[in-house]
Amino acid sequence: MKLINLQSAWAILLCFTLILSSCSDDDNDSSTPTDGEQASFETQILTLVNEHRKSLSLTELSINQTAERLALEHANSMVDLEEVNADGRRDRIDQLRETENALTVAEFNARFYTPEELVNEWLDTESNKNLIETEKFAEVGIAAVKDQNDRYYYTFIMFDLRN
């Protein structure tokens, strides 16, 4: 009889724990993208741009940590302001020149697109296409940040190095 009561107590405790676990607050707000989701968008953008560059026999762009950090800071700023802008662009360029020995820097900012739509839009815009197809660019930083309304803001910074 005691064995049955002990088993019942354990079963009740287990059920109670499961109920509490399923009702607990989730720190992952659905409007906040996961690191994996953002990284996936950033990887898709880089892959699409590099596929286009390879089709023209250009070298692939590689991720630069400083440019990546600057892109993320700026994309977060655009989310906070709820607008696409180039605020602080000169500072980002100066920082890349000082810390990464950058010579020419190009920056694209956008929102509301999927990675495919974004890259297609850039390639349909003559000035952006020309920059993407510039042979000397070698390094890139990409950020994709989702706002509270599930809209993505993007910053794409690429540059070449001084010789």
pLDDT tens-digit map of 73-118: 999 999 999 999 999 999 999 999 999 999 999 999 999 999 999 9
Q: Are strands 152-161 and 102-111 parallel, antiparallel or unpaired?
A: antiparallel
pTM above 0.85, yes or no: no
Residue 153, token pair as written in the block: 């803001």
Residue 77, token pair as written in the block: 């700023």
Whether the predicted pLDDT of 153 surpasses 60:
yes
Catalogue all structural domains in the chain, each as residue range(s) with its CATH number. Answer: 62-160 (3.40.33.10)
pLDDT tens-digit map of 27-45: 333 334 456 666 799 999 9
- What are the phi and psi torsion angles at 57 (to 5°)? 65, 30
What is the spatial distance between Cα 33 and Cα 60, in angstroms, rounded to a whole number? Answer: 27
**Backbone region of residue 151 per phi and psi (left: phi > 0; alpha: psi in -120 to 50; beta: other values):** beta
